[in-house]
């Protein structure tokens, strides 16, 4: 059974709406970065299935999270197939993120009552994702379409939760534009991890979350 239901994952994304998107081939380094993100206030963290030993590193991270940070949701990203989804869920994934829409992966997540975050861009793709049970729809690559596109989508799709991801700069002014446009949460990848200094990373995340919370208060 999943540690967190789909509804719990959505509630957490709404409460702490900054989700790091990260990959590294060495587990000790990945643990340090995850610790720094947690210290800054992150409670959802996506580890992507994009390189050598991704599954092995994810498995180590998940055991570490369950032991040290039981309130943190650790998700698996860049998942394409039902087999990949099942494998990562068996290893403890708390949510599944896709760059595309796959009905087979949606069905796997529904069977486990686990959050499914498929990638989409067009109105038809977003609608398809919601019909298949998406917990959040990942608008990707978000930097290509810009915040104004989210504002436009909010007309016909006022209730769909959006996670904007891809090329988003981690600065308060940029994030403010996305949240004013109607983003539910934001995923930030390599732009967030430009420094190897855990303290600097924690401070950056704390500042960004303060800015988001101030905007929403």
pLDDT at 73: 98
Residue 38 tokens, joined: 């947690």
Active site residue 138: yes
Q: Is residue 1 part of a domain?
A: no
Q: Structurally, how many domains does the chain consist of?
A: 1
Q: Out of 26, 46, 169, 177, pick the active-site residue.
A: 46
Q: Is residue 10 part of a domain?
A: yes
Q: Is residue 192 part of a domain?
A: yes
Q: Is residue 194 part of a domain?
A: yes
pLDDT at 195: 87
Q: Is residue 217 part of a domain?
A: no
Residues of the chain with pLDDT under 50: none
Q: Is residue 206 part of a domain?
A: yes
pLDDT at 216: 78
Active site residue 31: no
Range of the domain at 34: 6-212
What Rg, from alpha-carbon coordinates, does the chain have?
16
pLDDT at 1: 67
pLDDT at 69: 98
Check which CATH number belongs to the domain holding 113 and give it: 3.20.20.70
Q: Out of 138, 169, 177, 194, pick the active-site residue.
A: 138
Long-range contacts of 174-179 (CB under 8 A, 24+ apart): 175/18, 175/208, 175/211, 175/212, 176/211, 176/212, 176/215, 177/147, 178/142, 178/147, 178/150, 179/17, 179/212, 179/215, 179/216
């Amino acid at each position: 059974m999943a540690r967190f239901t789909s509804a719990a994952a959505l509630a957490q994304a709404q409460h702490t709406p900054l989700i790091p998107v990260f990959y590294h081939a060495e587990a000790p380094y990945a643990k340090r970065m995850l610790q720094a993100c947690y210290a800054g206030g992150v409670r959802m963290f996506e580890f992507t299935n994009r390189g050598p030993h991704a599954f092995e590193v994810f498995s180590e991270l998940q055991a570490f999270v369950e032991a040290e940070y039981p309130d943190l949701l650790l998700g698996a990203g860049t998942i394409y197939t039902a087999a990949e989804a099942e494998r990562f869920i068996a290893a403890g994934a708390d949510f599944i993120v896709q760059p595309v829409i796959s009905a087979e992966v949606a069905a796997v997540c529904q069977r486990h009552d686990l959050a499914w975050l498929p990638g989409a861009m067009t109105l038809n793709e977003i609608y398809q994702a919601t019909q298949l049970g998406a917990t959040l729809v990942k608008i990707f690559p978000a930097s290509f379409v810009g915040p104004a596109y989210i504002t436009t989508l909010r007309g016909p799709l006022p209730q769909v939760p959006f996670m904007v991801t891809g090329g988003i700069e981690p600065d308060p002014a940029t994030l403010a534009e996305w949240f004013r446009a109607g983003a539910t949460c934001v995923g930030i990848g390599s732009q967030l991890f430009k420094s190897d200094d855990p303290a600097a990373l924690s401070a950056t995340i704390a500042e960004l979350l303060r800015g988001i919370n101030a905007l929403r208060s």
